[in-house]
Amino acid sequence: MSKIILHKELFEYDSNLRQDFPVICGVDEAGRGPLAGDVYAAAVILNDDVLIDYLNDSKKISEKRREKLYDEIIEKSVAYSIATASVAEIDSLNILKATMLAMKRAVEGLGVKPDLALIDGNRLPELDCESRFVIKGDATSASISAASVLAKVARDRYMKELSEKYPEYCFEKHKGYGTKLHYKMLEKYGISEIHRRTFLKKLNHDGK
């Protein structure tokens, strides 16, 4: 029988904040670093009585476990929203501003207005509610952890879809990150329409 792992401290962090802010949403992103594809963000509101086994920073959870958690988070959340900023927006705005835009869209997409938005990292998007950033928030707050899982799984699925359209780049293997394999494929095939050109200024290809 497998051992259940519950990171109680994540839920206690949010529970303490709910004394002053009854409705809290956690916000996190996925895909700031890759050379290709949209950047994703998710916002999640959980009830105070919700506990989710294995919930943690999405980077510390296996892909198989994240997939299971994705469905459980959606089922148990009061509200959730997943949003993106496009490759074109990343190239025109820069990755930081595009990430903030995706986060703003995620919060605005919630069916419930939060009293407080907890943002992973050290920057805040422009929101119509009170917000605060939490450094290493995905390992601190259950709400942010839940958002990190939704954003990560949604983006990974999106990159797998792109791999079917652009099989030559092997996106299903590296999810757009700058691996040795990805750079090898870029050298061979050039920059595609879903690559971030501002991330690839050193490559002298016109793309296809």
What would the pLDDT profile of 151-200 be if each residue is shown by its tens digit?
Answer: 999 999 999 999 999 999 999 999 999 999 999 999 999 999 999 999 99
Give tens-digit pLDDT for 88-99: 999 999 999 999
Structural domain includes residue 144: yes
What value, to the nearest 5°, has the Cα angle with vertex 122 and ends 150 and 159? 30
Q: Is residue 3 part of a domain?
A: no
Phi, psi of 25 (to 5 degrees): -115, 140
Total number of domains constituting the chain:
1
Q: Which of 27, 62, 41 is nearest to 142 (CA)?
A: 27
CATH number where 159 lies:
3.30.420.10
Residue 202 within any structural domain of the chain? no
Residue 145 falls inside a structural domain = yes
* Two structure tokens written together for 89: 């927006």
Interatomic CA distance for residues 119 and 29, integer angstroms: 9
Show the domain range for 13: 8-165
pTM above 0.75, yes or no: yes
Distance CA 5, CA 146 (A): 15
Of 164, 208, 152, 204, which is closest to residue 34 (Cα–Cα)? 152
